[in-house]
Amino acid sequence: MQLLVVADALEHFKTYKDSTFAMMREAARRGWTLWACHPADLAWVRGAKVTALGARRVALTGGEHDWFTVEETRDLALADTGAILMRKDPPFDSEYFYATHLLGQAEREGAHVFNSPAALRDHPEKLAILEFPELITPTLVTRSDAAIRAFQAEHGDVILKPLDGMGGMGIFRVKADGLNLGAIIETLNKGGAQTVMVQRFIPQISEGDKRVLVIGGEVVPYCLARIPQGQEVRGNLAVGGKGVVRPITERDRAIAAAVGPKLAARGLLLIGLDVIGDCLTEINVTSPTCFAEISAGSGFDVAAMFIDAVERAIKPLMPAS
């Protein structure tokens, strides 16, 4: 069975914590043949199938730095593989959007893509929570300066964030005094040209911004709580947050049960829910992470659960032998 990973450059992976690497390692352990390409390598021409130009067949070495070798390089039709993992990191820009359309065409030609390209387009990571208002903190999405100011006046302590950020990028906290709110609005909405999300501040961030993974509609029983350090309001690991593995709570399980099966039915095999306190704050669908951290801290094999789900998903779709 062949597995094609569409991702950023393998050479830049930090294998000790990279979730895509964990997926590849588990697939290789089960005998899958591994291929890799970049979104920029995808191409289609009339009369042929969507192809990864110059796809690389790789073998894992077990090393930390030179962790793979290239066994073969050739053009690979996506429909000829067993499964494709779309694991390109955000931002979700125009090129990412175009890549999902090429992957959608590959699906029509018989390829099995996870997560579903159409579902990736339909569930922007910040905005997907709007479908579940009962699970989230008071939230505003707008370009309007006046609407942002009114929301902050009503709720006092708020968080402002861009819709296309990742890793905590561009997140601001404004307290009840409104200090510097005008400058922050100018920075984020760029004179009304860009949409901003504003949420009431959740004090339980001090206990961690939890990453709860849901695979095939089933919740992973442990989460990674990313705890802000020092004077930082953000818990993201990318900005210095401390990761602590914990069993999920009953509230985490309830949130996952409300969201996971519904999104799995739409083709989102893997999602990462961000939960602060009792509130869902984000639904990550492009390349959810924390496999390595959760597995190391709990002993639960997240990658095995994921590849199990991939194999279950493709089995009824494979042609009879």
Active-site positions read: 126, 161, 211, 226, 234, 274, 282, 284
Q: Cα–Cα distance between 27 and 45 in angstroms, integer?
A: 30
**What is the β-pairing status of strands 113-114 and 68-77?**
unpaired
* 3-class secondary-structure state, position 89: coil
* Token code pair at residue 277: 């306190």
**Beta strand extents in the chain (DSSP E only):** 2-6, 33-37, 42-43, 51-60, 68-77, 83-86, 113-114, 139-142, 158-162, 172-174, 196-200, 209-215, 218-219, 222-227, 242-247, 270-276, 279-284
Which residues neighbour 103 within 8 Å (Cβ) at sequence distance 6 or greater?
6, 42, 50, 78, 84, 86, 111, 113, 117
